[in-house]
A and B are shown apart, each in its own frame.
Chain A
Amino acid sequence: MHHFKILEYALSSLIRRKFKNLAIIIVYTFTVATLASILFLTHSLKKEAEYLLADAPELVVQRLSGGRHELIPLEYGETIRRIPGVAKVQPRLWGYYYDGLIDANYTLQEVLPGHSKLPMLQGRLPQNPGECAIGAGVAEVRRIGLEDDLIMVDSANVGRTFTVTGVFKAESALLTNDLVILEKQDLIDFFDYPADLATDIAVSVRNPVEINTIAEKIKRQLPDTRPISRSEILRTYAAVFNWRSGMMLSVFVAALVAFCILAWDKATGISAEEKREIGILKAIGWETSNILEVKFWEGIAVSLTALLLGLLTAYIHVFFLNATLLTPVIKGWSVLFPTFRLAPFIDPYQILVIAFLTVPPYVVSTVIPSWKAAITDPEAAMRG
């Protein structure tokens, strides 16, 4: 029962020193919010990448010419199909389109069987010439929706109109955000692709452990190609995001150190008034453990409040405000894309790491100086 009363005393003590505690909570919240924003954003991007690559083919084969990506002959697909272990070969047509109106890049793709698995916000995939399905980002920047027209200028500099039959959800934004899906013939006409060429070839493999062997065989039989495995793409994403978040975290360390100094200064520099209060409490019969309990609850209340506020701020910043302050650094290339909204993926382990990095140091820095005052004779402590 007395623990409850001590908790009540600790909370009323915090309210009595509200300005000091409010200042600490604000700085503390900002620090947690910055750290959490970096971790949330990085994790979310990696999850997005994993999500979109989960349904991606095990291998993508590109043709290289002079080190550059070139269109690949469809007959290469037949050669690959004959390699033992290959389950399925799918030539794919796609290309990039620069929209000068709003200064953004779109990815134009033909309708593929895999597209039907992607979550649609509204509508359906194109089934007829002159139809298209678009990503949420394209819909947003062009301010169009279902049944509206999307006008793009083709390779012959002629404007073409496509009716929007579907809009993708933000859940798979990394893949679909800048996507425009067209009927195969529309895409060929738009880019003026030769009929016997594809952009690349997606290859499915029967046994996942044989991916590297099959990639080797493709490389040997078709020396001007580059097979890229799904895990290689995933590793590249992870490396890029880790490198960028590492860079941000390095910058953040300076802020964290500044916060620690401030927190330590605020918490350890207990005032003469606080020392006197500890002396009075001891003089009227409080034990050292009672005073430490008060200070412990004070530390917990401040740090948990700041932690929760910081996490909430980071969540809003990353998933509602689109990580406005971090996006240019972490995503880098995204400035070229239409606006990118992340789906909220949060790793509980990261929350624990943030809590571990922020709560115990603050609680310790609150309790230790009070402990020093509490083990002093009450008579001396009351003098401040």
Chain B
Amino acid sequence: MPPLIQIEHVRKIYNAHKPDEFCALDDISLQIEAGEVAVFKGPSGSGKTTLLSLIGCMSRPTEGRIRIGEKDVVKLSERFLARTRQQTFGFIFQQFNLLRDVSVLENVLMPLYPQQVPISAMKNRGLELLRQLDMENKQQAKIRQLSGGEQQRVAIARALINDPDIIIADEPTAHLDSQLSADLIEILTAIHQSGRTILIATHDPQLFNHPLISSVFSMHSGRLTEGC
């Protein structure tokens, strides 16, 4: 059984062959098994977010190979890459990346719009997730009316709506106080218990020292310094 995520000699260079060329990732190789909770830690600019976006098929590496299950995603066409994002990943972004003037429920349902899912089934699933995250009473509220912690729970619900195998969370505690961070860890624990793999980029010790975490990768200046 191959690892769920396999990365081999990945490099990511921005603005290649230009004066402002920048190497964000250099020769990254790692493996993550299904069901793991992996943390990528390191200071800002170390390449954590870039690595997660490559794993999440949101951009392609300049060099190297990334396999998700049986698929070499680097070779996939744009269309299949989008489909992989849709079916395999749920994203919780650092800035949440929700649509501010759209309701909570619509934000949660957004990934299902282009899919062949009946509207009633979509709504039932969205409401169920909001109920689990204690956000059901805010379903019609606009995102701009919510607190940071509430926005994050909406982002979590949106990440789970497709029932993905892998959840990617980029600095999930960056905008939360310690109580909300603890709540988030509880939610992540529940998500992990449902059998999902979780990848987290963070520099929050409360998170990477938590017993939930099964592997830690340290990064610095675009390289893995620990956990290779």
Q: Which residues of A contact B (CB under 8 A)?
A: 1-2, 5-6, 9, 12, 16, 276-277, 279-290, 375, 377-380, 382
Contacts and interface: CB of A to CB of B under 8 A. Distances in A.
Contact of A12 (B59, B78, B93, B102): B102
A287 B82 contact: yes
B83 A5 contact: no
A11 to B, nearest CB: 13
Given A12-B102, A286-B82, A379 B58 contact: yes
A200 to B, nearest CB: 72
Contacts of A288: 78-79, 82
Contacts of A1: 116, 118
Nearest to B99: A277
Contact of B58 (A9, A289, A377): A377
A327 B85 CA distance: 61
B53 interface: yes
Nearest to A289: B79
A279 B82 CA distance: 12
Interface residues of B, number: 30
Given A2-B114, A5-B113, A379-B59, A285 B97 contact: no
A281 B53 CA distance: 15
Contacts of B102: 12, 16
Contacts of B82: 282, 285-288
22 contacts: A1-B118, A2-B113, A5-B119, A9-B113, A283-B85, A284-B85, A284-B111, A284-B158, A285-B87, A285-B111, A285-B114, A287-B79, A287-B82, A287-B114, A375-B78, A377-B60, A378-B58, A378-B85, A379-B53, A379-B59, A380-B59, A382-B97
A377 B91 contact: no
Contacts of A2: 113-116
Contacts of A284: 85-86, 91, 110-111, 158
Contacts of A9: 113
A290 B114 contact: yes
Contacts of B110: 280-281, 284
Contacts of A287: 78-79, 82-83, 114
B101 interface: yes
A123 B119 CA distance: 64
B197 interface: no
Contacts of B91: 283-284
B119 to A, nearest CB: 7
A290 B86 CA distance: 13
Contacts of B113: 2, 5-6, 9, 286, 290
B45 to A, nearest CB: 15
B152 interface: no
Contacts of A377: 53, 58-60
Contacts of B97: 276, 279-280, 283, 382
Contacts of B86: 284-286
B162 interface: yes
Given A12-B102, A283-B58, A285-B86, 8 more contacts: A1-B118, A5-B113, A276-B97, A280-B97, A282-B58, A288-B79, A289-B79, A378-B85
B85 A285 contact: yes
B144 to A, nearest CB: 12
A289 B79 CA distance: 9
B74 to A, nearest CB: 13
Contacts of A382: 93, 97
B58 A285 contact: no
